[in-house]
Amino acid sequence: MESTNFVWDLMGRNLGGVLIVISLPLFFVLLYALIAILAELKISAWIQERLGPMRTGPWGILQPVAEVIKLLQKEDITPDQSSKLLYNLAPFIIFTGAYAAFAVIPFSEAFVPADINLGLFYVFAIGSISAMGIVMGGWASNNKYSLMGAMRSVSQLISYEIPAAMAILSVVVLASSMNMQEISRAQGGGFWNWYIFGGPGTWTKIWVVPFTFGLTIIYFIASLAETNRVPFDIPEGESELVAGFHTEYSGMKFAMFFFAEYANMFVVAAVLTTIFLGGWNSPFGDFMQGPWWGSFWFILKSFVVVLFQIWIRWTLPRFRVDQLMYVGWKVLLPLSFVCFMAISLFVMLK
């Protein structure tokens, strides 16, 4: 099998190559987070008929940089009665959870940091670590709001991982692989081969399209819940819980939460892109297809999904905690099971 990581080809599998492979996604995350924060500021402003930041740099493009510098300068407070170790560890665990998921994300035909066969499973497992960080942070802060935010977060994550898992599982059934690179490769040749439209196949696949399309939406909704975004941002729930689990955090530790949220947004968007939107494939067959164009398409598609998340955030109100459970267990879960059954049947009959 040809290598799927051109950096290793270039550097050889020595320590330097490994370090570069590790740090490439980190640079990407930091750069992406700055762009996403600016996008969030600007898009929210346009939705609300404002201008958004205009003064820091031309057209306000330095605003995220200024915000990061501000957070770096702020005093790092550890509450007196908190559990120091857990309190200080929590932001790093959350960021690790978000960042570690980048290890298997196929940015291009020729670049995936680690091409492992259980890629999807790994993304899913490592994503849950951030819940642990939230609980640690919420509990260790010794703040009642944080505690309630942490409790809500766990119940939310458990409820929404199952529909998301069903969506991922359906694609695994269709692609008969958990390797994200293989799944991407299977969807080549144009947008009608993407799994959102039933995956590659003849016209007989037409009756499975509603189910795969539905699963895409189910996964998107579940991913909103996993990243604690509106309308599922009840762990933060600023109107009742002040800031939820990160009420007590300030300075750089808060910035870690902040980065982790944006990194997580990209991770779920990347998974959605990979399993449903064709990964790094061009939507038009061989047009603009190739290793370099691949990374362009991948980042473009993922970013469009992120923009959707931002758009929803500034449009919808927030669910209440019991309604969120209702949507998770009684609406999304049965629907995802139905879709899974239908897709399994389709694969069996094929």
List of residues contacting another protein (CB under 8 A): 44, 47-50, 144-145, 148, 230-231, 233-234, 237-240, 242, 314-323
Query: Tokens representing 25?
Result: 């996604």
Query: Tokens representing 344?
Result: 């399994």
Residue 179 burial (CB < 10 Å; 0-12/13-18/19+)? buried
Q: How far is the CB of 314 from another protein (least distance, A)?
A: 5
Q: How far is the CB of 191 from another protein (least distance, A)?
A: 31
Residues 6+ apart with CB under 8 A from 28: 102
Q: How far is the CB of 268 from another protein (least distance, A)?
A: 20
Q: How far is the CB of 259 from another protein (least distance, A)?
A: 22
Q: How far is the CB of 281 from another protein (least distance, A)?
A: 35
d(CA 130, CA 95): 7
Based on CB atoms, which residue is closest to another protein, 19 or 316? 316
Based on CB atoms, which residue is closest to another protein, 44 or 142? 44
Selection from 259, 218, 291 nearest residue 72 by Cα:
259
Q: How far is the CB of 141 from another protein (least distance, A)?
A: 14
- Sign of the CA dihedral running 18, 19, 20, 26: positive
Q: DSSP H helical segments within the chain, as ranges?
A: 6-11, 15-47, 63-73, 84-100, 119-127, 129-140, 144-175, 180-186, 209-226, 238-241, 251-276, 291-313, 321-326, 333-349
What is the secondary structure of 293-323 as a DSSP string? HHHHHHHHHHHHHHHHHHHHHTT--PPPHHH
Rounded to the nearest 5 degrees, what angle is found at the Cα of 213, between the Cα atoms of 342 and 197? 95
Based on CB atoms, which residue is closest to another protein, 112 or 243? 243
Based on CB atoms, which residue is closest to another protein, 115 or 233? 233
Q: How far is the CB of 328 from another protein (least distance, A)?
A: 14
Based on CB atoms, which residue is closest to another protein, 267 or 324? 324
Based on CB atoms, which residue is closest to another protein, 122 or 254? 254
d(CA 52, CA 92): 30
Q: How far is the CB of 242 from another protein (least distance, A)?
A: 6
Based on CB atoms, which residue is closest to another protein, 112 or 224? 224
d(CA 27, CA 110): 18
3-state secondary structure of 108: strand
Query: Tokens representing 182?
Result: 């293989």
Based on CB atoms, which residue is closest to another protein, 234 or 333? 234
Q: How far is the CB of 51 from another protein (least distance, A)?
A: 12
Based on CB atoms, which residue is closest to another protein, 49 or 75? 49
- The residue type of 240 is E
